[in-house]
Structure 1
Amino acid sequence: MMQRHMPLGYKIVDGKVIIDEEKVDVIKKIFEEYHKGSSLHAIAKELTNAGFLNANNKPNWNHGSVGKILQNIKYVGDDFYPQMIDKETFESVQKRRKKKEQELGRTLQPNSMKNQSLYSNKLVCGECGDVYRKYIEHAGRPSEKSNWKCKRYIYQNRVHCRNLFLTEKDIEDTFLSAINKILSRKWMLDKGRKKEPPRITLEIRRLEERIKELEYEEHFSSKELSELIFKRAKAYYSIAKIDDYDYNTEKIKKLLAEKEQLTEFDEDISINIINQIVIYKDGRILVEFINGITMEEDHEKIREDE
């Protein structure tokens, strides 16, 4: 599994999630700066200029990558993730973000912190790559209704993304269907996973070639050789994968132990074993579990089965 599945600021050591001391400062800085009043764009620009590395180990930040960190409740801590941000700061940040959304003309349905974590962090638009948000129409009226839509459905008062609208029932039924498929195919959780070697970049190839040249010429004590070896180590680290497949598979097994087919949506199981669901305009929905296993669902079929 690629490192993107592990929130920035954490890493796995001996099968346990711990705080990554090399990355924790950037997480705290993002929350502190936003809490003090800085905008997402200003924070992203400052991080980029300062050379802070993002989740892909690149010093390139934008308002979207900063926003995703600010909405990730895992930083408050739970049974698996140690606390990095105190709850008071996190809640204050969410209130400010909600206020900014309203100022931008987006009306969001107020949700509990847990509900926001369950849906907002897990629904992804397969057409434009943005997240889904809950929008309420005719608030306070008998005709009030809500739907989950791509965040870029309306942008700057124009329709930008025409992906599917989902009701909460659609979402819950999608989670339920995917989990029941895993329950009926538990053998998948016992199947070993082939480990893929890291993909060698052009930069690494060039470094390797130059290092071999210097070694062939026996320049073992040269300053250039020591610098190149250090650069090679950094380059390999930047493409390294966190092999947390076994850890996350065991987590799924424990939560589904002694479970048969679920007859109703289980929020606790869903939030802990499903990484994200990707929605496409043609009705396909890909449900990705935390260990990388994916199940494909059909939006229309799910509705027919209701």
Structure 2
Amino acid sequence: MIRRIYRSYAEGLSYKAIAESLTEEGIRYIPEKPAWNKNMVARILQNQNYLGVGKYPLIVEEELCQAAKMVQKPYTHTESKDIKAIKPLLVCSVCGKPVRRRVKKNGEERWYCEEGLKHIGMTITDEILMESIEVLWRHLIGNLQFADVGDNAGEDNPISLETIRLKNEIDQMLKAEKIKEDELKAKILELASLRYASFDTPWHNNRELMRRLRQAPQGFNIKLILEIAAEIKVSYCEAEALILKNGKVIAKGVNGNERSES
């Protein structure tokens, strides 16, 4: 299986194509994980132990390893135009903090969450990130009904992960045996401030958003994503959800099947 992954990559297949092929054939990454993703494939291709390093047996011959390296896209310290544009929207799906990008000594990019380095996988590259955002975009364009909140868009729509976090904290404080009134009041005021600031998506803004989506040209459209998205949630191995400015969430579901939710 390891040699097959190296061979497939050397022949020009993408991380995504290799992952889909392994999943379809029922080959498991580990017993409890029947579905593969691009992060798993990348992890195997970057594991030096398969080359017989130290005490590990040789699994991938040098010739095959070099063939795989030859097709790898060169890393660069320079961010692409699309990465620079989309980066301000990226937030960690675990904690809601901004997702950052840095470049390691070997020139490889590293996406991470400042709140917890284990929140985002080390093998997420610019390519993986943009491919997963494109998957979400295609799902949105193919299912526009999931993006429409109708004529009732307003304060009851989900606004941001920060709003949800504050509401959860307030709920927990209210359940405590001894309520700290000053802290509770401060949290309530903070939540009220966030919700007040979010009152920029009334029904006519939703109509404008839907009009833009219906008129969107075919193909991936970074410019339009920047106009309609409030956040893009990044999970351990990919971008997993678009949070639209009208509060709608376009997300991926279990086993790679896309889903959409309010």
What TM-score bracket applies, with the shorter chain setting the length?
0.3 to 0.5
TM-score (norm 1): 0.38
